[in-house]
Structure 1
Amino acid sequence: MSGHSKWSTIKRKKGEKDGARAKVFTKISREIIVAIKEGGGDPNNNAKLATLIQKAKSNNIPNDNIDRLIKKAVGGGEKNDYENCVYEGYGPNGVAVIVDCLTDNRNRTAGEIRHYFDKFGGNMGTSGCVSFMFSLKGIIVLDNEEGTIDEDKAMEDILEAGGDDFSFEDGCVEITTDPKEVENVANALRDMGYTVVSAEAEQVPSTYTTLTDEDQIKKMGLLLETLEDNDDVQNVWHNWDMD
């Protein structure tokens, strides 16, 4: 079946960079805090929280750190009130970029994101200026590092769980589904014994832009790195063909 391997490669590269900078815990922490405020601190009754705990473990965050964060958030010790903000813009040569943030200061974050676009040869646009080039899809990634998942059995299980499509990638299985059902499908797959590495609603580009100018390539890379290095930024989606 068809998948989104190009998109997956981009996201995996992003994840590796975030982990290398030790930023991943800060980012996941904010997601966990928001998830607990919205759905409570019991992962058995909060599918989003369960997914985030697994995401934290997949990024080698110690269980003690996760437990302390959850207890603090449940006990009301976390005073920051984060809100979701989405910014859209263009990188060099019109590369479409969507920046998803969780911030406790909207004005600060907007100013910083605008500055990054300007600094690296792009510009921040208005809401909707590039999102029409993306489709919101539920993306679930299953761990298959050992290559033990049988494709025929996986197809049966994925369809039974409510997945729409899947593809076997390098060390993982990537599943697409309705973004509103991503947590339910992920939970069903966990119950079947699969290890869910991530399960999120993601912006998948419909077309890609290629950069050939070395200066543009350098600036686009720096734009992405700088955005991802900002603690307020949770996800950066773009349609740059990095292959």
Structure 2
Amino acid sequence: MPELTAEDIALAGEYVLGTLPLGERQAAARRIVADPAFSREVARWEARLDPLAEEVRPVAPPTRLWAGIEARAYGSPAPAGSGLWRWLAGASALSAAFLGAILWFGEPLMPTQGRMWVSDMISVDGSVRLAALYNEKTGEMRVSMGGSEPASGRDFELWLIAGEAAPISLGVMPRRGQAAMPIPAALRDRIANATLAITEEPRGGAPGGVATGRLVAKADLRRI
């Protein structure tokens, strides 16, 4: 039987996280019965993620907090049920970002590994996606690049945007697959709540360390 692909492994993780659309989830459930390798991968994801669930303690936000958020987002009154759906959308996005990042690790992410920051950047048309995971303890960022590759003679470059400061290049991304990127010590205190962005630049990176190409995608780093 052929080995599972990276897409198969990601699918198993999304099944366990519960982020798949209904039709894809039903197809994955049927595959668990028919495909022993896929079934074992689902079991591995459950073993990885179950300990994380034990670290989470649900906290109900005050009613006034949701009211304030919805008033700013929609005006008053907010559409019926909007708070629930906006929360679900946010939770799903964080789960997807978390999943994409932890595919790097063959084990659960535990608190002893240091504080983690995750970002999941997806282009507007959905053709390019980059998941990034930063470990404060090691000072290393791990990235996983998927989707369409840059045009011939071009590279995707990753940028750190902290506050009002000019974007700082973190390096050229792999055309596909994964890379480990040690973050210089002078930049590590800027990671918290910063934004990551991808631009398309000339092969080898932006000339002079200043972005010149189109913005492909960007997303905030979020603590997990």
TM-score, normalised by the number of residues in structure 2? 0.21
Structure with greater Cα Rg: 2
TM-score by length of 1: 0.20
Larger helix share, 1 or 2: 1
Higher relative contact order (CA 8 A, sep 6+): 1
